[in-house]
């Protein structure tokens, strides 16, 4: 079991459970994370305008026999990973279970007339067991890294604006716990890959400074507290370096340092640079900037050098880029009156695709699901949602009191 301390209160993360394979199990997992090819041109132009995401249809499944609570978890997990629920006669796959205290179920292929997955789970909560079963279904059907047992970090503003706190929860918004208790403006949480630790900005000392926060011990320390702005920490995939936005030289630019804040290096000199995001190989940083009074997306070597501008034709005022873990995609926010979530190939080979209304996209490890925030209907407050990029299916997460935004998916 993993012990967490938030706000100096120890609590137990219910992620320890046992999974027992049942006879007839057939499960294959294949993860392929191709590398990223970088372009050498200063301006990366769009070479085609087709919908590069294609017309992806959801996988049709039917669900029978589970308790309402377990069925709700399974429906959420599978829907935001490319599945949809139809009557049994129309389904390619049938998921059957029973309403017992523990989660147990089978996955059958209706076309092949065979059981391809059979599982039972003990320990932890029914939600954790149900997430684990959904994960096994995703791996069996899609050969895709699942997300059911992952976490997100985000900021919550109880009054909708102004001061807030950093929270961590399950990816669907359940089991939310406050990381900070500063009663100050906070922003931009970012995970340390492979660790229970966050970077974020807090105005607790009166200035926007960047903190490193160990979630296991509750200890935190300041990483960047220079004069002016210190924000938007983004951690390299290997956890060794941090990119951030500092205004210590008079303008908002991208800087890179070691994970402990040492060996600071300036890598951009543009106008209003913001929102750094690392490529999966750690070689590049994508960011937003201004050029000729227009907001653009660009990338630069993590060691500094010439800036390469990315074309985002048809999606004006791009910002908040995030690079998918498989290196293929860059998600970002476009603003043309309303905010839109967009996705484009990371090599700039095709025009962006507008997905849904919203902002602040963050990729999950499966490189197809995004968490983002959008305005709640009839309200100025923000809520978190989870989106399947290829089918455009999305669901709102469980809402925390107030306004929730700037979510970062655990890597």
Question: Per-residue confidence at 385, pLDDT binned at 50, 70, 90?
Answer: very high
Question: Per-residue confidence at 291, pLDDT binned at 50, 70, 90?
Answer: confident
For residue 8, pLDDT over 60 is answered with no
Domains of the chain are: 3-30+58-142 (3.30.160), 151-409 (2.120.10.30)
Please write the tens of the pLDDT for every residue from 335-358.
988 999 999 999 888 999 999 999
Please write the tens of the pLDDT for every residue from 362-377.
999 999 999 999 999 8
* pLDDT recorded at residue 379: 87
Q: Which of 188, 197, 237 is nearest to 365 (CA)?
A: 237
What are the φ/ψ torsions at residue 130 (nearest 5 degrees)? -65, -40
**SS3 state of residue 71:** helix
Give the whole-number percent of the chain exceeding pLDDT 90.
78
For residue 322, pLDDT over 90 is answered with yes
Greater confidence (257 vs 270) lies with 257
* pLDDT recorded at residue 63: 97
Question: Per-residue confidence at 32, pLDDT binned at 50, 70, 90?
Answer: very low
Q: How many CA atoms, within 13 angstroms, populate the side-chain half-sphere of residue 25?
A: 16
* pLDDT recorded at residue 50: 53
- Strands in 18-21's sheet, in edge-to-edge order, are 18-21, 114-122, 104-109, 93-97, 59-64, 83-85
Please write the tens of the pLDDT for every residue from 92-116.
999 999 888 889 999 999 988 999 9
Give the whole-number percent of the chain exceeding pLDDT 70.
88
């Amino acid at each position: 079991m993993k012990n967490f301390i938030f706000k100096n209160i120890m609590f137990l993360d219910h992620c320890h459970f046992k999974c027992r394979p049942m006879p007839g199990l057939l499960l294959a997992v294949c993860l392929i994370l191709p590398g990223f090819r970088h372009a050498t041109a200063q301006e990366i132009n769009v070479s085609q305008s087709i919908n590069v995401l294609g017309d992806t249809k959801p996988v049709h499944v039917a669900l029978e026999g589970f308790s309402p609570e377990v069925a709700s978890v399974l429906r959420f997990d599978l829907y935001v990973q490319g599945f949809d629920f139809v009557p049994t006669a129309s389904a390619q796959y049938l998921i059957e279970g029973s309403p017992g205290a523990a989660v147990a179920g089978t996955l059958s292929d209706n076309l092949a007339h065979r059981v391809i997955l059979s599982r039972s789970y003990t320990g932890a909560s029914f939600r954790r067991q149900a997430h684990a079963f959904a994960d096994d279904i995703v791996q069996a059907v899609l050969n895709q890294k699942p997300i059911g047992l992952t976490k997100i970090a985000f900021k919550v503003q109880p009054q909708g604006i102004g001061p807030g706190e950093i929270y961590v929860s399950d990816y669907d918004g359940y089991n939310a716990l406050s990381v900070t208790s500063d009663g100050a403006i906070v922003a931009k949480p970012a995970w340390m890959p492979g660790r229970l630790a966050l970077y974020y900005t807090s105005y607790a000392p009166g200035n926007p400074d960047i903190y490193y926060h160990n979630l296991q011990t509750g200890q935190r320390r300041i990483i960047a507290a220079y004069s002016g702005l210190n924000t938007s920490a983004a951690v390299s995939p290997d956890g060794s370096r941090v990119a951030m936005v500092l205004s210590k030289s008079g303008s908002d630019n991208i800087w890179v340092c070691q994970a402990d804040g040492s060996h600071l290096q300036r890598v951009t000199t543009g106008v209003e640079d913001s929102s750094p995001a690392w490529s999966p190989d750690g070689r590049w940083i994508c960011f937003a900037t201004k050029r000729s009074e227009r907001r653009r997306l660009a990338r630069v070597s993590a060691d500094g050098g010439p800036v390469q501008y990315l074309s985002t034709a048809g999606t004006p005022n791009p910002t908040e880029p995030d690079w998918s873990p498989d290196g293929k995609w860059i998600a970002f926010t476009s603003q043309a009156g309303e905010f839109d979530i967009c996705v484009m190939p990371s090599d700039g080979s095709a025009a962006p695709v507008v997905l849904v209304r919203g902002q602040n996209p963050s990729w999950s490890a499966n490189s197809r699901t995004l968490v983002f925030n959008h305005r709640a209907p009839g309200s100025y407050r923000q809520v978190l949602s989870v989106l399947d990029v290829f089918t455009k299916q999305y669901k709102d997460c469980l809402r925390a009191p107030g306004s929730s935004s700037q979510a970062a998916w655990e890597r």
